[in-house]
Chain A
Amino acid sequence: MTQSAIPSPKKGRQLIDEYFIETRHRVIEIAAYLDRLDRSGDPATTSDFRSGALREALAVLCDGSYPRVDRIQMIFSDPTTEPRAELDQKAAKGAFDPEQEKG
């Protein structure tokens, strides 16, 4: 559903006028990040679990179906439902690592 409880006071073209430049900037930043990884020449950058999640997320940006942000959030999320047996590390990494979970 693309409806809102509270409609944005700014509409269509006005939203583009307001937010295009900063969004364009973010897309270029992503491109530069991916190029930086390529220049490092390390194939591990492609196989890293975070890179895999990022590729999946980028595909969602282009498939035209709403809501992109909710779907991307789930790509980066731990899909399991059982608690961990014990604490492995204090900090989260930003994407789910299936290999680590297999232990």
Chain B
Amino acid sequence: MTTVLTSQENARIDACIEAHRKMPGALLPVLHAIQNDLGYVPEEAYPQIAHALALSVAEVHGVVTFYHHFRRHPVGKHVLQICRAESCQAMGAEKLEAHVKSALGIDYHQTTADGAITLEPVYCLGNCACSPAVLMDEELYGRVDSQKIEAIIHEARVSA
């Protein structure tokens, strides 16, 4: 899935690179900045990044693909992360996960047809005293059941 970046997107990527390239070990900060801005790290940006940091395109590709956090494709307006780790399992995360998947009609790493919500698994959000936990964008929720998740999803949809 290759897309052509607009010149505006290219300029934003350049700005992200410029702001961080002088840091020691700059690659992760650069990738974070790009993803924060565009929502993902487009493959078309690898040569720019590689050139600025004196790396090979293969090295940039290797790093982007190594880390679960970095996305290679555009995502929905909102990203919903459901914790799959042990503490949340002990409090019914599996049921919650099944409910969300069927309510949204998607599996993990997919986006709803209306482009509103991308679903991702996550392994612990540090909210284990109030499991199950989910993160909607940067908003954390605890003791989430089917009813609560419906409300969270609804709120995200209307705010979109």
Real complex partners, A and B? no
- Spell out B's residues near A (CB within 8 Å): none
